[in-house]
Structure 1
Amino acid sequence: MRFRPTFALITVAALALAACSGGPVKRVSEPAASIQQLTVGNDGNWDVELRLRNYSSMPMRFDAVSLAMKVGDEAAGTLSTQPGVSIGPESADVVKVRLQPSSAARIVVADSLAGGRSLFYELEGTISATPEEKKQRSFDVKSRNSLNQAPGLPGVLR
């Protein structure tokens, strides 16, 4: 059998083209939400800095958020906003949401702040987001986490 350079060159070129043709895989993953900071205002209302996380490999525009919030075992209210922010692939951004919490939730937060204890919270609801060049989708979100008092900042949990 004789070596044929033309055949070898064509084979190498075909393999090189096949390797280049795929490009990056674009996948849409469920986003996540968590509370970055909760500030208790003088009027008793809360300013919540909600961290929205895009785990997709493409940018997504976050159109609407509706998350029921619980602190301890008490329902606090619903974090509802239409942020209209675009978040890059595998990145996060923060949006501010004002919440008038239930009386029971106010007591739980006040107790946590007064005692210097962690505040456990839960978020459950939906996030509507539009992946790049695709149709809007609604994602179910559920998360549990905790916040601690920010040193030197009264009424602030992070």
Structure 2
Amino acid sequence: MNPRKLLIVLLGTCVVAACATGPRRVSEPAASLQQVTVAADGSWSVDVRLQNYSSIPMRFDAVQLDLRVDGEPAGTLASTSALTIGSESADVVTLALDPTSQARLHVADALAGGRSLAYRIEGSLRAAPEDRGNARDYRVRRESALSPVPGLPGVLR
């Protein structure tokens, strides 16, 4: 191969390699409730959806979220299990909660009446790029609503 063609091939390879790596972007993660399941004993199983908006995989080391339903404190959703979520992806962590009596009443009323239930989560997610150890806390606040799931007693989505 002549030197000129070799130079063109090498430059082309370098350009393609530079485009493939791109900049590493770490963005604030988000959290929301995906599902609440009420057990026969009144305890809840809460599916928390963790969203990684970063362009790289992130390791979520801790979740600490205060939950309110219909404006009433329900309890704290907490986990210290490390979970890695791929770039621009989401995953769900299921957390147990023994809610306050007021929160239980509001959820029971929503389920019995077939109506939606407003919720708010506020707290922090401790996360770091998967390949680094320097985790930091990200503040989270989300307000939304859950609705009873037809055919699934005791489940709100």
Structure 1 length-normalised TM: 0.87
Q: Summarize the alignment of residues 2-151 of structure 1 with structure 2, pairs less than 5 Å apart.
A: 17=14, 20-21=17-18, 23-134=21-132, 135-151=134-150
Return the offset for 1:17: 4.3
Identity %: 51
Which AA in structure 1 matches 2:18?
S
Instruction: Output the CA distance in 2 between the equivalents of 1:133 and 1:16.
Output: 26
Q: Does the 8 A contact of 1:39 with 1:155 survive in 2?
A: yes
Instruction: Output the CA distance in 2 between the equivalents of 1:40 and 1:15.
Output: 59
Instruction: Output the CA distance in 2 between the equivalents of 1:137 and 1:64.
Output: 10
Q: Can you give the 5+ residue segments of structure 1 that lack an aligned partner in the other structure?
A: 1-5
Q: Can you give the 5+ residue segments of structure 2 that lack an aligned partner in the other structure?
A: none
Q: Does the 8 A contact of 2:52 with 2:85 survive in 1?
A: yes
Which AA in structure 2 matches 1:110?
A
Q: For residue 152 of structure 1, what is the aligned residue in structure 2?
A: 151
Q: Which runs of 4+ in 1 moved over 6 A?
A: 13-16
Q: Does the 8 A contact of 1:83 with 1:95 survive in 2?
A: no
- The structure with the largest alpha-carbon Rg is 1
Q: Deviations 1:87-110 (Å, cap 9, x if unpaired)?
A: 000111111100011111111111
Instruction: Output the CA distance in 2 between the equivalents of 1:16 and 1:102.
Output: 61
Return the offset for 1:16: 7.6
**Secondary structure of 1:83 counterpart:** coil
